[in-house]
Amino acid sequence: MKIVDVLIERKIQSLNRPFSYVVKDDALIEVGERVLVPFNNKNIVGYVINVTKSDKSIAELEKEFGYKLFEVRKIIDEKPLLTPELILLANEIKNYYLAPYISILQAMLPLSLKPTSSSLKGPKIAYEYFVKIVSDNEDNLTPKQIELLRLVKNNGEVNKKDIKSPSILKKLIDNNHLQIIKKEKKRLVINATKEQKNFVLTNEQNQAIESVLHSKQNVTLLQGITGCGKTEIYLSLAEKVIETGKNVLILVPEISLTPIMVNNVYSRFNEKVAILHSGLTNAERYDEYRKILNKEVNVVVGTRSAIFAPLDNIGLIIIDEEHSESYKQDNLPYYHAREVAIMRSKINNAKVLLGSATPSFESKTKAMKGIYNFIKIDKRINKLKLPETLIVDMSKSMNLSRDSYLFSKPLISAINEALARKEQIILLLNRRGYSTYVSCRKCGHIFKCPNCDIALTYHKNDKMLKCHHCGHVELMSEYCPECGSNYIAYTGFGSEKIVSEVNRLFPSARVLRLDSDVSEVRGNIKKAIASFSNYEADILVGTQMIAKGHDFPRVTLVGIVLADVGLSLPSFRSSERVFQLITQAIGRSGRSDLSGKAIIQTYLPNHYSILLASKQNYDAFFNYEMRIRHIQQYPPFSFLLSIEVSAKNEEYVILAANDIVNNLNSKLQDEATILGPVAPYFAYQNNTYKRLILIKYKNSDKIKQEINKLLETFKFNNVVNVKINVDPYDF
């Protein structure tokens, strides 16, 4: 008999311990492989963390263990999936993030990655499944079903993987509204155009590269203004590191938004590149994964989870736009790719380069303290000037246009001028939908979400009302549900409304929209970006998606339709987010020899985030905001940790949460501030009640010790579940 200790694939604290199973002596089984095991009358996937041999009989063993020992049903993997280095990393992550071990293993291995023995041997045909419309008759369908039906109708064929709710899809297939079609899938093909540019690096670029390679600190922060040539620094540096026989990992916030980065990496390093992100199909992902395991590549480019790529011999990890929120996972194990990168660099003795025009406060502070090496580049390539920016106060009547309440006089004339010169324009409004507030003019009824009690947003494209908090949808009705009148007022505006306004004011301009509604369908982002790059449109309208690292040389005007969006959100990060967004957006203008302009419309023209972003003055913003953070003792002046307590029974949650707070208060009153328990935004979801506790602290050792003790006490508690989020982004 072999006794196999297995971690069950459930991220619940009470299951955060191994369960024992047995296999026959001759079974080939190794630590690091996945198995199918019976658990509570179901077969579920588990992860082998220990194998021992025993000469005892099953009966003797069961007596010793005190429970029935089941046999492993199936060994899923042929060989261990994680390298010894990744196992080491998993332990470090566990110590830092205090997360259930299985949740870390799951984060490291994309769930869909199921290398069966056949796929290990070589490529076979992969298929993709698309959803097609059969009938668009909406009678007797629920709003959620109609939402999906309209999505498919508006987009033609939709990849099945993009459909968020399999149960709604199944209903629509069962009642003959939709059908699935199967198509042969081409494996990942990147049509990287060969790089033509072969420029000489600038002095700033060369100095940055030398500094990363030779600094005594392993981590370097590169604070470089938009358009200073950071990408070229990354690529040249990667080349140098590869020449020394080491490998390079490059993380980007979102691949579909920055296809240029992937293209550049491909053309520079030819076939020696693997790419990992959530947009890949399972087959593609597996191919890429296998290329890395087989040591066929020197470079891996990917999004957050690519930090776990099984790349060996890493010499350099680059994190582009290191301030990006997308690097923090928003469920267990709640890791941040930047912190994991630093852990991984220590194991490999590798360098880390963090790059951004607007570094995170955490990184900037460490750079200022000398913990990180620091490089600053203030000059744009070719001494290009920053775009000329104009802040337009929308409360001043002289700025307002007779023709439009959304676009000011200066913005309208700037758009006309750019159109006349055949240049391109980006219009940013960080809010999607058509109208963010729908009400009845007669009785004053407001169309609100029944779950959240906030106003619903009208989406014109599929004529539905949607809640941007919880995803509730309903059909837009022409009549007021209260009084039956048809005087419906649409106020408040989102990106869809901007498109209509552009069509109305500039009828001959070609307009494209890019926001998360559009990008719900795979490939749409890529299409929009390619088409704008090829000058098939004059104006690109969208949310924060259009502010990211794009390099559209023909764009000479960026208009921020309402900069105030987001400033009033209840988060200590709201000013920082708005500053980053405006800075990034303005940076899209004037990136070639055409000089650029940016117009910022706002009702708060003197707000420091807006004023300083308009000047692209990160350092002044940092100093100002740091004073506020200091007074309120927010990060980076303190650390945060949040505890989510949940259970099916509200009373138990409240009792447990209060217990935890009392307990922590008695032990940590000198080291930490403990806030809560509070009911979170979604205090009741999926039949589960939740409470949140927040801890602010300066020194983590004692805090983490106490949290570990706390987790111990919940280990055998099947009623109340506890989740820890170390360094939560918001709370």
Residue found under tokens 């990106």: 495
Near Zn ion by CB under 5 A: residue from 37, 221, 353, 440:
440
Helix axes 230-243, 203-214, angle to 10 degrees: 50
The reply to whether 359 sits near ligand ADP by the rule CB under 6 A is: no
The reply to whether 224 sits near ligand ADP by the rule CB under 6 A is: yes
Near Zn ion by CB under 5 A: residue from 24, 74, 170, 469:
469
The whole-angstrom distance between residue 303's C-alpha and the CA centroid of its chain comes to 8
| Burial call 487-507: b when 16+ CB within 10 Å, e when fewer | ebeeebbbbbbbbebbeebbe
Of 376-384, 421-429, 459-467, 585-593, the segment contacting Zn ion by CB under 5 A is: 459-467
Q: Which of 364, 339, 361 is nearest to 352 (CA)?
A: 339
The reply to whether 86 sits near Zn ion by the rule CB under 5 A is: no
Near Zn ion by CB under 5 A: residue from 283, 467, 525, 611:
467
The reply to whether 445 sits near Zn ion by the rule CB under 5 A is: yes
Query: For residue 283, which phi and psi values (nearest 5 degrees)?
Result: -65, -45
Strands (E) across 603-671 are located at: 639-647
Helix segments in 26-165, DSSP class H: 58-65, 84-97, 101-108, 117-121, 143-155
Q: Which two tokens stand for residue 330?
A: 């928003």
124 binds, among Zn ion, ligand ADP, none (CB under 5 to 8 A by kind): none
440 binds, among Zn ion, ligand ADP, none (CB under 5 to 8 A by kind): Zn ion
Helix segments in 470-573, DSSP class H: 495-505, 524-533
In 3-state terms, the chain is what percent helix, strand and coil (to 5)? 35, 25, 40
Near Zn ion by CB under 5 A: residue from 30, 60, 136, 482:
482
Near Zn ion by CB under 5 A: residue from 2, 153, 187, 472:
472
Q: Which residue number, 352 or 467, has a Cβ lying nearer to ligand ADP? A: 352
**Angstrom distance (rounded) from CA 51 to CA 80:** 13
Question: Contacts with ligand ADP in 527-556 (CB under 6 A)?
Answer: 549, 551
**C-alpha neighbours within 13 Å on the C-beta side of residue 186:** 4
DSSP secondary structure letters along 553-605: TTEEEEEES-TTTTTTSSSTTHHHHHHHHHHHHHTTS--SSS--EEEEEES-T
Contact 37, 72 (CB under 8 A): yes
**Angstrom distance (rounded) from CA 104 to CA 600:** 43
Near ligand ADP by CB under 6 A: residue from 201, 452, 655, 679:
201
| Minimum CB–partner distance for residue 470 and Zn ion (Å) | 3
The reply to whether 603 sits near ligand ADP by the rule CB under 6 A is: no
Query: For residue 480, which phi and psi values (nearest 5 degrees)?
Result: -70, 130
227 binds, among Zn ion, ligand ADP, none (CB under 5 to 8 A by kind): ligand ADP
Q: Which two tokens stand for residue 566?
A: 């987001």
| Minimum CB–partner distance for residue 7 and ligand ADP (Å) | 41
Of 121-129, 195-203, 294-302, 671-679, the segment contacting ligand ADP by CB under 6 A is: 195-203
The reply to whether 227 sits near ligand ADP by the rule CB under 6 A is: yes
Give the DSSP H/E element, type plus range, for residue 666.
Answer: helix 650-668
Near ligand ADP by CB under 6 A: residue from 13, 16, 103, 202:
202
Q: Which residue number, 433 or 549, has a Cβ lying nearer to ligand ADP? A: 549
Strand order in the sheet with 464-466: 457-459, 464-466, 473-475
Size of the site for Zn ion (CB under 5 A): 15
| Minimum CB–partner distance for residue 227 and ligand ADP (Å) | 5
The reply to whether 232 sits near ligand ADP by the rule CB under 6 A is: yes
The reply to whether 231 sits near ligand ADP by the rule CB under 6 A is: yes
Q: Which residue number, 383 or 627, has a Cβ lying nearer to ligand ADP? A: 383
| Minimum CB–partner distance for residue 448 and Zn ion (Å) | 9
| Minimum CB–partner distance for residue 16 and Zn ion (Å) | 32
| Burial call 700-715: b when 16+ CB within 10 Å, e when fewer | beebbebbeebbeebe
Query: For residue 361, which phi and psi values (nearest 5 degrees)?
Result: -65, -35
Q: Which of 608, 551, 610 is nearest to 599 (CA)?
A: 610
What contacts 351, CB < 8 A, 6 or more positions away? 212, 213, 218, 219, 220, 241, 315, 316, 317, 345
Near ligand ADP by CB under 6 A: residue from 65, 127, 199, 682:
199
Of 399-407, 437-445, 496-504, 566-574, the segment contacting Zn ion by CB under 5 A is: 437-445
Beta-bridge partner residues of 641: 695, 726
Q: Which residue number, 342 or 456, has a Cβ lying nearer to Zn ion? A: 456
The reply to whether 229 sits near ligand ADP by the rule CB under 6 A is: yes
The reply to whether 448 sits near Zn ion by the rule CB under 5 A is: no
509 binds, among Zn ion, ligand ADP, none (CB under 5 to 8 A by kind): none
The reply to whether 324 sits near ligand ADP by the rule CB under 6 A is: no
Contact 591, 553 (CB under 8 A): yes
350 binds, among Zn ion, ligand ADP, none (CB under 5 to 8 A by kind): none
DSSP secondary structure letters along 241-272: HHHTT-EEEEE-S-TTT-HHHHHHHHHHHTT-
| Minimum CB–partner distance for residue 387 and ligand ADP (Å) | 13
Near ligand ADP by CB under 6 A: residue from 226, 324, 614, 725:
226
Near ligand ADP by CB under 6 A: residue from 381, 390, 452, 509:
381
Of 92-100, 280-288, 442-450, 492-500, the segment contacting Zn ion by CB under 5 A is: 442-450
Contact 567, 609 (CB under 8 A): yes
The reply to whether 387 sits near ligand ADP by the rule CB under 6 A is: no
Of 53-61, 87-95, 224-232, 667-675, the segment contacting ligand ADP by CB under 6 A is: 224-232
Q: Which residue number, 141 or 440, has a Cβ lying nearer to Zn ion? A: 440
Q: Which of 293, 566, 173, 599 is nearest to 425 (CA)?
A: 599
Q: Which two tokens stand for residue 674?
A: 């403990």
Residue found under tokens 């240029």: 260
Q: Which residue number, 199 or 603, has a Cβ lying nearer to ligand ADP? A: 199
596 binds, among Zn ion, ligand ADP, none (CB under 5 to 8 A by kind): none
What contacts 26, CB < 8 A, 6 or more positions away? none
| Minimum CB–partner distance for residue 589 and ligand ADP (Å) | 12
Near ligand ADP by CB under 6 A: residue from 208, 228, 340, 528:
228
Q: Which residue number, 205 or 439, has a Cβ lying nearer to ligand ADP? A: 205
Residues that bind Zn ion (CB under 5 A): 440, 442-443, 445, 449, 451-452, 467, 469-470, 472, 480, 482-483, 485
Residues that bind ligand ADP (CB under 6 A): 197, 199, 201-202, 205, 224, 226-232, 381, 549, 551
